[in-house]
Each structure stands twice: as C-alpha cells, then as structure tokens.
Structure 1
Amino acid sequence: MGTLETLQSLGIALPSPSYLAGAVLFGLAGLAAYGYGKRVGRARTRWLGVALMFYPYAVAQTWLLYLVGTALCVGILVDRG
C-alpha cells in the first residue's frame, strides 16, 4: 500500500491546489500587512496581518479560506483608510 492510500485510510486528505494557492497568497498578504503595520505603528493592522498568516491552519474548506481571507484583507484596507 502506498503512502497516499495509507493517509486516506486514516482519514487524512491532501488539500487541493486552489487551497494551497490561497493559503500562500493570504499568508504573503498577512506578512506584508504585518510589516506595514509595524512600520507605521498600527497595532490593528499588525494583528490582522498575523490573523491572515495563521488562519489557514484552522480552516479546512477552500471556499471558507477565500471568504475569511477576503474579509481580513478588506479589514486591513478599511483600517488603513
């Protein structure tokens, strides 16, 4: 039995490519937001950046990943303005 079959028999599924792309995209956006918030001294922007970097670990569905990521990015834009 191969490794993939062993993981699937344990109930562990690999994420889809669109999930991985979203996790990387929002992680990089979070890193940029954290750096921006640190540079200009905005604590809320820094915390939203931290949330963007780490929330993919708590979200399993792809649609929810994009929904929460978009909401956090909008929050950063609103805080910036």
Structure 2
Amino acid sequence: MANLQTLQSLGISLPSPAYILGAVLFGLVGFVAYRYGKRAGRQRSKWLGVALMLYPYAIAQTWLLYVVGAALCVGVLIDCD
C-alpha cells in the first residue's frame, strides 16, 4: 500500500477499469482491422488498425479514449464497404 501512496504523491495514478477495458477492446478491433487490411490489400484499413492499437498510449482521459476509438472504428467500417 505504501508503494501506491508513493506513486500518488508523485502524481501518477492507475487507470480506471473502464479505461483498461476500452484500451483492450479498441486494441483487439485494431488488430482485426490491421489483419483484414493487410490481407485484402486495403492500406487505409491497415493503418486505421495500427492507429486503433496505438492511440490509447497517447490519450489519458477515458471519455476521449472512447470518442477517438469510435471515430476510428467508423473509419474502418466505411473503408470496408
């Protein structure tokens, strides 16, 4: 418990369960989009998949994680048509 208090005193906090769930979910969707784009020869789907896998590392707010993830997922769906 002392380690957690030390981290909090340094300004470091653990992510919420909702954030972790979103990061895992969008990472899996990104992996599937990457594989699909690579096999089908769709460059946009492939790079949107890479973006879906990597963007949670750059975003700290949970609500922004879901907004950006939903937008990227819509982009993948539009490209698949």
TM range (shorter): over 0.9
**What is the number of equivalent residue pairs in this alignment?**
81
What is the TM-score normalised by the length of structure 1? 0.98
Counterparts of 2:44 and 2:75 in 1: how far apart (Å)?
Answer: 9
Give the root-mean-square deviation of aligned CA atoms: 0.8
Instruction: Letter of the 1:59 partner, please give it.
Output: I
Between the aligned residues of both structures, percent identity stands at: 72
For the residues of structure 1 that align with 2:28 and 2:74, how far apart are their CA atoms? 15
Gaps of 5+ in 2: none
Q: CA deviation at 1:35?
A: 0.2
- Unaligned 5+ segments in structure 1 are none
SS at 1:13's partner residue? Answer: coil
Q: TM-score, normalised by structure 2?
A: 0.98
Secondary structure at 1:15 match in 2: coil
Distance 1:46 1:70 in 2: 16
